[in-house]
Chain A
Amino acid sequence: MSMMMAQSKSESQPIPVTPPRAAVAPGIKMEAKGLKAWFGKSQALKGIDLPLAENQVTAIIGPSGCGKSTFVRCLNRMHEVVPGAHATGTVTLDGADIYGAGTDPVLVRRRVGMVFQKPNPFPTMSIRENVLAGLRLNGRRPADAAALVETSLRQVALWDEVKDRLDRAGTSLSGGQQQRLCIARALALEPEVLLMDEPCSALDPIATARIEELIHEIGQRYTIVIVTHNMQQAARVSHYTAFFYMGELIEHAPTDRMFTQPSNPKTEDYITGRFG
């Protein structure tokens, strides 16, 4: 059903893929196999097989209700947090199944960070405390908290804007700044994978451009999965794109190829705006 990435030595893939821009034959960081997910009785994912390339940006596109968000929420076991929701199948992280027996979802989430659609800084905490929240709430005291705050905020290009008011409430920032703060909060834990669920949909075009720039920069150091409604955005920030439709993966390919010569007519219809 989907085209697979052919860079993994161990797997022989029938379809040769052109290397994505700036890509250097990445390995596979995470991989979903036969992933199915439900909300109560309604099935949101109908068996997804999708590898996610290491230190690359993978964009997930598709019309509303196609299961994009559900898919990324399965990657850090946040799906099951919703009452009545459950998932089956496997998702590997560095080869180990995160749905395996005895796997603690809490530990998975420390390795697979997440940024949500709406910025959600903790309202009772200052900017500084928000950045350190992941560590503090896990009972760890960073040796050099000030340095960690600075590097985290610099990574998201927020440092210069907030360095004089680190004690102000995180919620006192603008929407775009709050979202960058949330990204900094996730990055402070040094996750291996960063999931972004429509991170720009609540932001204006300028704030969106900043976040995209940011994804470009950190995309070389982190494995990023970004859900987006905006196909231009997918084309701009990602190395790989996966197209979801009605809970199924229709196509997965290097982004430039996906947008220039999609192999599935449904993909073509969607990216040319004929539906969705």
Chain B
Amino acid sequence: MSAPEAPPVAPSSALPRQATGVDRRRAFVDKLARGACVAATVLAIVPLVAVLIYVAAKGIGSLSLDFLTNTPAPMGEVGGGIKNAIIGTLLLVGIASLIGIPIGVITGIYLAELGRYSKFAQAVRFSADILGGVPSIVIGVFVYTAIVLHWGYSAMAGSVSLAIIMLPTVIRTTEEMLKLVPDALREAALALGVPRWKAISSIVVRTALPGIATGVMLAVARIAGETAPLLFTAFGNDAVSTSLTKPIGSLPQMIFTHSTSADAEWHRQAAAGALVLVILILVLNIGARVFIRRRG
């Protein structure tokens, strides 16, 4: 790069016009940093892709209509399916979402819009962060003592533990997404003589909806794969059940019991169950995104 002759200005403070050692080093460091970023990204994607390929390769062989529409066969026998687990997971995740999403979103709205700087909000924020770091099995133990010891194993107990697990994610993502909405929009709404609650619900939340939905979907995906807290709350059930007050099966638990058994057929079924779970989450995710895009 040779620059045209500059008009004579104070030469003492002017930057050099030819590449110097400093410039060459800067270019080298730039390449190095870029390379490191690409390498780290690839490294992060490898396990994700590997898991998907592994699950698909192992599970696809056992996947059939019979597998989806039958209840499990006794160990050692060929056949049997995961109908009970699919219905169980849908029910558990559905009820947990019905409990967790409204509470979480409304709490997030409170933290971002109403009590942003209050002591109470800080306490809630702190609790949510702590709750988010609590191992899910501990939440299972809590629900076991709070619910199961009084009313026995049930789908409801399982749903409650899943709802508790999803709460921190929903609360914090809702809050963060609402904080991203520019104050200019809040002021625009208020200046039109719109009451505050309406400005929040119709403008602020509406604007942040895609982000909130993404956070909610992440939370739903996470609880759909939770195993530990279900072991001693929902307990498991080899028969199809839709009762909230009875034990219920679920895909993660089916995967757990099948893959820790001594039977090769069950191992294959565990992989197939995992594949079904992954697909289920994927469908839920895409469905939610399409729904949001239509409305937004």
Query: Measuring CB to CB, which residues of chain A are less than 8 angstroms from any residue of chain B?
Result: 76, 78, 81, 83, 106-111, 113-114, 116, 118, 120-124, 133-134, 137-138, 182, 185-186, 189
Q: A122-B203, A123-B207, A124-B206 are in contact. Are A107 and B193 (CB under 8 A)?
A: yes
Q: A83-B117, A137-B198 are in contact. Are A122 and B191 (CB under 8 A)?
A: no
Q: In the docked arrangement, what's the CA distance between A109 and B132, Å?
A: 42
Whether the pair B191, A109 counts as a contact (CB closer than 8 A) is yes
Residues facing A in B177-201 (CB within 8 A) are: 182, 184-195, 198-199
Determine which of B184, B198, B199 lies in contact with A116 in the assembled complex, contact meaning CB atoms within 8 Å.
Answer: B184
Q: Enumerate 13 A-B pairs (CB-CB under 8 Å) in ascending A order.
A: A76-B191, A78-B191, A109-B190, A113-B192, A116-B187, A120-B182, A120-B185, A124-B203, A137-B198, A138-B198, A182-B188, A185-B192, A186-B192
Q: Is B127 an interface residue (CB 8 A)?
A: no
Chain A residues with Cβ under 8 A from B188's Cβ?
A: 116, 120-122, 182
Whether the pair A137, B203 counts as a contact (CB closer than 8 A) is yes
Query: Measuring CB to CB, which residues of chain B are less than 8 angstroms from any residue of chain A?
Result: 116-117, 182, 184-195, 198-199, 202-203, 206-207, 209, 296
Knowing that A121-B188, A124-B203, A124-B296 are A-B contacts, what are 18 other residue pairs whose CB atoms are under 8 Å apart, sorted by A's residue number? A78-B190, A81-B186, A83-B116, A106-B195, A110-B192, A110-B193, A111-B193, A113-B191, A113-B192, A116-B191, A120-B184, A122-B203, A124-B209, A134-B192, A134-B194, A137-B192, A137-B203, A185-B192
Q: A109-B192, A134-B192 are in contact. Are A122 and B187 (CB under 8 A)?
A: no
Q: A116-B184, A124-B296, A182-B188 are in contact. Are A106 and B207 (CB under 8 A)?
A: no
Q: In the docked arrangement, what's the CA distance between A123 and B208, Å?
A: 10
- Closest chain B residue to A137 by CB distance? B194
Whether the pair A122, B198 counts as a contact (CB closer than 8 A) is no
Shortest B131–chain A CB gap in Å is 27
Most-contacted residue by chain B among A78, A108, A123, A186 (CB, 10 A): A123
Shortest A178–chain B CB gap in Å is 11
Shortest B143–chain A CB gap in Å is 38
Shortest B243–chain A CB gap in Å is 41
Whether the pair A120, B187 counts as a contact (CB closer than 8 A) is yes
Shortest A152–chain B CB gap in Å is 13
Shortest B213–chain A CB gap in Å is 13
Total A-B residue contacts, Cβ distance less than 8 Å = 69
Q: In the docked arrangement, what's the CA distance between A137 and B187, Å?
A: 14
Most-contacted residue by chain B among A76, A114, A133, A137 (CB, 10 A): A137
Determine which of B192, B195, B296 lies in contact with A133 in the assembled complex, contact meaning CB atoms within 8 Å.
Answer: B192
Shortest A239–chain B CB gap in Å is 24
Most-contacted residue by chain A among B185, B188, B194, B198 (CB, 10 A): B188
Most-contacted residue by chain B among A108, A116, A120, A182 (CB, 10 A): A120
Q: In the docked arrangement, what's the CA distance between A78 and B190, Å?
A: 8
Q: A116-B184, A118-B184 are in contact. Are A189 and B192 (CB under 8 A)?
A: yes
Whether the pair A124, B207 counts as a contact (CB closer than 8 A) is yes
Chain A residues with Cβ under 8 A from B116's Cβ?
A: 83
Q: In the docked arrangement, what's the CA distance between A185 and B199, Å?
A: 15
Shortest A31–chain B CB gap in Å is 21
Chain B residues with Cβ under 8 A from A185's Cβ?
A: 192
Q: In the docked arrangement, what's the CA distance between A109 and B117, Å?
A: 25
Shortest B194–chain A CB gap in Å is 4
Whether the pair B185, A138 counts as a contact (CB closer than 8 A) is no
Shortest A149–chain B CB gap in Å is 15
Q: In the docked arrangement, what's the CA distance between A134 and B199, Å?
A: 10
- Closest chain B residue to A117 by CB distance? B184
- Closest chain A residue to B193 by CB distance? A110
Whether the pair A81, B193 counts as a contact (CB closer than 8 A) is no
Shortest A136–chain B CB gap in Å is 8
Q: In the docked arrangement, what's the CA distance between A106 and B193, Å?
A: 5
Chain B residues with Cβ under 8 A from A121's Cβ?
A: 188
Determine which of B182, B193, B203, B209 lies in contact with A109 in the assembled complex, contact meaning CB atoms within 8 Å.
Answer: B193
- Closest chain B residue to A78 by CB distance? B191
Chain B residues with Cβ under 8 A from A120's Cβ?
A: 182, 184-185, 187-188
Chain A residues with Cβ under 8 A from B193's Cβ?
A: 106-111, 134, 138, 189
Shortest B239–chain A CB gap in Å is 47
Most-contacted residue by chain A among B185, B190, B199, B206 (CB, 10 A): B190
Chain B residues with Cβ under 8 A from A81's Cβ?
A: 186-187, 190
Chain B residues with Cβ under 8 A from A134's Cβ?
A: 192-194
Shortest A210–chain B CB gap in Å is 21
Identify the 5 closest CB pairs spanning chains A and B, nearest first: A110-B193, A134-B192, A114-B191, A109-B193, A120-B184
Q: In the docked arrangement, what's the CA distance between A40 and B117, Å?
A: 14
Q: In the docked arrangement, what's the CA distance between A137 and B194, Å?
A: 6
Chain A residues with Cβ under 8 A from B191's Cβ?
A: 76, 78, 109, 113-114, 116, 186
Shortest A200–chain B CB gap in Å is 16
Whether the pair A138, B194 counts as a contact (CB closer than 8 A) is yes
Most-contacted residue by chain A among B117, B189, B192 (CB, 10 A): B192
